[in-house]
């Protein structure tokens, strides 16, 4: 599918409004350009929202809430079911647009839309399962029961790397529960948000859902982001993004005693034990470390490998990394596309420089590619580094394909190294030894929200609570 066809499919040629309440509004904020990381070319112009536009939307969302909360939950579920059908219809095109605007390979773009479809199915089921407990009261002639009430309009703030799936995880559950939703997407991925909203609108209109139930507000942090997080009319803010963003949003929303769901950065490790199957390990690391060009929250960033297996594993990984086709993510045979922009490439370069000054040793890759499509300055070779425990930059999430290999002696030390970082999203152990696996999964083992055995750190499955501990924020979604 070519760029022009993708944009035409969603009528994205020409200036776009960045604000919808189910109807597109004329908005008054600055213009935003969407640039494709594939070739650094302009693919869209969006007029964003200012504070007044946000105010119009929140008022609509509040009014719509009074009506939407009274619609029976299974009927709300029926509308979400239709949203899932509409997404199935547009899966290839929306997936390709994710690729075009964000740079992940086509299979991953479509996989993201599949997650949207899956959460719709899950939410439809939930719409008939909003159960609460009933209890015998100690007071004669009384019974007690608990029930779930909607909160009101809820704010959903999303990151660039999962530009549509994470919104759906939040929005579909919020909708069946009777809430209205205001979505602020990343300014790096406005077109995917507009296209998603256009798909949703057809369903909203067909079912005569009032304007203000599902809302999109594209705008900058000052005008829209800060307005949302400081707004008492949004009792819940669900925010996905970096740790510094989450720290700020968490504090701001807590200051007004609002609720948050925070899904923040990860620094995900795999422990490779003496009995690990190295074929399995190599495949899992490759998928986890170079998938989405190292820009997943669950990207594998650290390998904690038993001392005696360090050399063999690093040789296998270097051989595998050399085979990875890097290029246009819209092409079927490509496994790694660009980073999201040149700034991300610079961040990666700076991190590698700092790593060397802190005593680390790069083993392979890390170059910025040039020539042909690479002239965009957004393509890099994925990097493998030999690190020692305690190197400061290894404790940080650099959102790029840098993989640190650290040797350990004894499982206790492996777990100590594993848990040394402040983030706590996803983790894995590769072993054939049941005791080692159980130790890793126990409360003495991995301190992450997600712990795996013999499978890598990436991936979320609808229905399994997804989220992390420590600085990852403690949220649970999907």
- Min CB(50)–ligand NAD separation in Å: 15
Residues 193-232 interacting with ligand NAD (rule: CB under 6 A): 221, 225-226, 229
Three-state DSSP state, 478: coil
Provide the mask over 252-291, with x wherever binding to ligand NAD is found by CB under 6 A and - wherever it is not: -----------xxxx-------------------------
Could you confirm whether 297 is annotated as catalytic?
Answer: yes
Q: Can you tell me the distance from the alpha carbon of 406 to that of 305, in angstroms, rounded to the nearest whole number?
A: 6
- Min CB(104)–ligand NAD separation in Å: 12
For ligand NAD, the closer of residues 96 and 156 by Cβ is 156
Instruction: Choose among 181, 184, 144, 179: nearest CA to 163.
Output: 184
* Catalytic site residue from 93, 115, 201, 263: 263
Question: Using the rule CB under 6 A, is 101 a contact of ligand NAD?
Answer: no
Residues 281-340 interacting with ligand NAD (rule: CB under 6 A): 297
For ligand NAD, the closer of residues 166 and 271 by Cβ is 166
Taking CB under 6 A as the criterion, the residue among 82, 99, 180, 186 binding ligand NAD is 186
Q: Which helix (H) or strand (E) holds 403?
A: strand 402-408
Question: Using the rule CB under 6 A, is 385 a contact of ligand NAD?
Answer: no
Taking CB under 6 A as the criterion, the residue among 48, 158, 215, 452 binding ligand NAD is 158
Three-state DSSP state, 123: helix
For ligand NAD, the closer of residues 8 and 461 by Cβ is 461
Could you confirm whether 263 is annotated as catalytic?
Answer: yes
For residue 179, what are its two tokens?
A: 């809430």
Three-state DSSP state, 415: helix
Taking CB under 6 A as the criterion, the residue among 249, 335, 336, 421 binding ligand NAD is 249
Question: Using the rule CB under 6 A, is 472 a contact of ligand NAD?
Answer: yes
DSSP count for the chain of H helices, then E strands: 14, 20
Length of the chain as a residue count: 478
- Min CB(105)–ligand NAD separation in Å: 17
For residue 202, what are its two tokens?
A: 């057809």
Q: Can you tell me the distance from the alpha carbon of 71 to that of 57, in angstroms, rounded to the nearest whole number?
A: 21
Question: Using the rule CB under 6 A, is 108 a contact of ligand NAD?
Answer: no
Taking CB under 6 A as the criterion, the residue among 22, 95, 178, 241 binding ligand NAD is 241
CA distances from 344 to 172, 249, 278, 323, 395 (A): 31, 23, 31, 23, 18
- Min CB(224)–ligand NAD separation in Å: 7
For ligand NAD, the closer of residues 108 and 263 by Cβ is 263
Q: Is 304 within 8 Å of 281 (Cβ atoms)?
A: no
Taking CB under 6 A as the criterion, the residue among 245, 284, 345, 405 binding ligand NAD is 245
Taking CB under 6 A as the criterion, the residue among 233, 248, 316, 354 binding ligand NAD is 248
Question: Using the rule CB under 6 A, is 35 a contact of ligand NAD?
Answer: no
Q: Is 76 within 8 Å of 203 (Cβ atoms)?
A: no
Q: Is 469 within 8 Å of 449 (Cβ atoms)?
A: yes
For ligand NAD, the closer of residues 178 and 288 by Cβ is 288
Taking CB under 6 A as the criterion, the residue among 71, 116, 157, 393 binding ligand NAD is 157
Instruction: Choose among 65, 41, 239: nearest CA to 159.
Output: 239
Question: Using the rule CB under 6 A, is 30 a contact of ligand NAD?
Answer: no
Collect all residues with Cβ–Cβ distance below 8 Å to 75 and sequence separation of at least 6.
Answer: none
Q: Is 328 within 8 Å of 337 (Cβ atoms)?
A: yes
Q: Can you tell me the distance from the alpha carbon of 40 to that of 75, in angstroms, rounded to the nearest whole number?
A: 44
Q: Can you tell me the distance from the alpha carbon of 149 to that of 177, in angstroms, rounded to the nearest whole number?
A: 7
Q: Which residues are catalytic?
A: 263, 297
Question: Binding residues for ligand NAD, per CB under 6 A?
Answer: 157-162, 166, 184, 186-187, 221, 225-226, 229, 239-242, 245, 248-249, 263-266, 297, 397, 399, 425, 468, 472
């Amino acid at each position: 599918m070519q760029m022009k066809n993708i944009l035409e499919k969603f009528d994205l040629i020409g200036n776009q409004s960045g604000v919808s309440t189910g109807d597109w509004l004329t908005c008054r904020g600055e213009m935003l350009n969407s640039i494709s990381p594939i070739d650094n070319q302009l693919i869209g112009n969006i007029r964003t929202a200012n504070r007044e536009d946000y105010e119009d939307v929140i008022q609509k969302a509040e009014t719509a809430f009074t009506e939407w909360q009274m619609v029976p939950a299974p009927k709300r579920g029926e509308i979400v079911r239709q949203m899932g059908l509409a997404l199935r219809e547009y899966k290839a095109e929306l997936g390709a647009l994710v690729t075009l605007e964000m740079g992940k390979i086509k299979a991953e773009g479509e996989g993201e839309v599949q997650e949207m479809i899956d959460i719709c199915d899950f939410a439809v089921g939930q719409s008939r399962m909003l159960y609460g407990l009933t209890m015998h009261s100690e007071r004669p002639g009384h019974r007690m029961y608990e029930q779930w009430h909607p909160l009101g309009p809820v704010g959903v703030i999303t990151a660039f790397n999962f530009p549509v799936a994470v919104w759906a995880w939040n929005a579909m559950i919020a909708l069946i529960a009777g809430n209205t939703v205001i979505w602020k997407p990343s300014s790096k991925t406005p077109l995917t948000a507009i296209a998603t909203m256009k798909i949703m609108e057809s369903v909203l209109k067909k079912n005569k859902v009032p304007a203000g139930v599902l809302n999109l507000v594209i705008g900058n942090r000052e005008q829209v982001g800060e307005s949302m997080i400081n707004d008492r009319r949004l009792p819940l803010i669900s925010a996905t993004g970096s740790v510094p963003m989450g720290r700020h949003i968490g504090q701001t929303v807590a200051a007004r005693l609002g609720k948050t769901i925070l899904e923040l950065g990860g620094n995900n490790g795999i422990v490779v034990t003496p009995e690990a199957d190295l074929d399995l390990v190599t495949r899992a690391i490759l998928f986890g470390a170079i998938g989405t060009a190292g820009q997943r929250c669950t990207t594998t960033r650290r390998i904690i490998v038993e001392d005696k297996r360090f050399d063999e594993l690093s040789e296998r990984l270097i051989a595998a990394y050399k085979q990875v086709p890097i290029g246009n993510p819209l092409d079927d045979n490509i496994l790694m596309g660009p980073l999201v922009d040149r700034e991300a490439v610079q961040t990666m370069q700076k991190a590698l420089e700092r790593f060397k000054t802190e005593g680390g040793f790069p083993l392979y890759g890390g170059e910025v590619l040039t020539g042909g499509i690479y002239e965009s300055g957004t393509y890099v070779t994925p990097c493998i580094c030999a690190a020692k425990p305690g190197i400061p930059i290894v404790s940080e999430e650099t959102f790029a394909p840098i993989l640190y290999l650290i040797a350990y002696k004894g499982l206790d030390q492996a777990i100590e190294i594993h848990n040394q970082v402040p983030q706590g999203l996803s983790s894995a152990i590769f072993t054939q030894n049941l005791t080692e696996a159980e130790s890793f999964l126990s409360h003495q083992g991995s301190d992450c929200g997600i712990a795996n055995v013999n499978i890598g750190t990436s991936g979320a499955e609808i229905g399994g609570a997804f989220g992390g501990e420590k600085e990852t924020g403690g949220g649970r979604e999907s």
